[in-house]
Structure 1
Amino acid sequence: MNSIMYISMMAANRMLEKQAIIANNLANISTLGFKEQLVTQTLSSINNSKLYKNDSIISEKNYLYSNFSSGPINYTKRNLDLSIKGNGWFVVKDYNSKHQEGYTRNGHLKINSDGKLMINNYLVMGTSGTISLPKNKKISISSSGIIYLMDLKKEKIKNKILGKLKLIDTDPKYLKRGNNGIFYLNKQGRKKLGKVIPDNHHIRLNSGMLEDSNVNINENLINMISNERSFSIEMKIISNDDENSQRANQLLNINS
């Protein structure tokens, strides 16, 4: 293997990784609160590599980051559909860890058979833990996240408070992407903020609205086509280089 083939193979691998990210973005166009994942490529020099001890090889590496801009708002008129005004996150319980919370922009709340408030099968966290609601009762959620019991006959809010949604805000640099659109604190975030971020009482909600995915369809489709063409070029370079190497070996055999 020569340096040209090696560089093209590395570039092709990076393009396959990028294509998988683009495909995942497009697959989550309809996922509520989904944050688009973006890719940038960095170049670095590999000196004295095992393959080429006397050469300096330029290597490409993909750097992944998330687009945290807000997605478009979808009006549903459902009282358990919430969207966050500006920055902020809903908090869910991470069932894979006893010590971590997860964060999402998906405000499509549901009540399970046990009366627990859920988002995408994750338990919703309140300021005092998970939220349990009385069965067959109607609730109302204020713009500050306070959950009130409603009088079904009079369609009025009772004074009884059932809990408050925990809403947090933090610098995106402290977050890492998990599954199902859930984000978690990364190592830097846990070191800086601890395992749990406190409730932010300044965050406000819109009721009857949901935040859609912020994936830019047109941009991702263009990137997918461009990436596919670049991959084809790299594969052509590898094929031509392999063909040239075979011809060179044949000439050497004839001369010898």
Structure 2
Amino acid sequence: MDLKTRLKGRVAIVVGGASGMGKATAHRLVQEGARIVIVDRDDAAAKAAAEEIGAQATHFSANVTDEASMEAAVAYAANLYGQLDIAVNAAGVGASVALVNQTVEQFKQIQDINLTGVFIACKAEARQMITQGQGGVIVNFASTNAVQPAEGLAAYCASKAGVAMFTQVAAMELSSNGIRVVGIGPGLTDTPMVQRVLSVPGAREAFTENILLKRPGRPEEIAASVAFLVSDDASYITGSTLYVEGGSLTQRYPELSRRQSTQAPVVAGGSR
């Protein structure tokens, strides 16, 4: 099958598509023939990303933690293009803070965006797909930290483990409607969010020595895996999370002492 037409005629929504892996995914889906709506809290960045992609993309400003906002985003995509076939939920945030120093507010904010946000988005997307009666595919961004613990990332690991399990339950409930629900679990990937961690002296070396391929992933590599999962080539995959991590799950996660912990405010944005 020609990859340039693998998703021809399909409509996708990419939540958290203004930056990082979400933006790379938006690019890849259009390259494969889809029309997309980039949904992000950062309206200016979402608009810029859509303009960069071209005529097959548009944008909509929405907050994944607000149910009415996400319902409006899904309705916009369906009304604009007449259908919704693919949904990618890539919005996420994180902060490295020792649990004894982390505030309840920080912990809750990470859960609200990373986990509750996936629930809110998936609920709205699934309802639209059920109404259409033609099935669809939903991809939720988890992380290797769904299965690999890391010091300083209690809130992040818990949220991503929740996404992986939520994806399984959603797949069970929606299979009778012809909707596949799958997860993508990126390892360390060069994105604006991760660059803040890798800029700390010694951090890049500490992480890359724990990756069999000896480098972080590229957003485009994650996007390629998402494109596979939403295509008919993955028609027999649902409920699973695909970990794209360069072999890092065979190793121990870098110790907290090898990188700096930060209590910087958590800011909602695109994917990592």
Q: Calculate the TM-score normalised by the size of structure 1.
A: 0.21
Query: Considering only CA atoms, is the larger Rg found in Structure 1 or Structure 2?
Result: 1
If each structure's strand is expressed as a fraction of its own residues, which one has the higher value? 1
If each structure's helix is expressed as a fraction of its own residues, which one has the higher value? 2
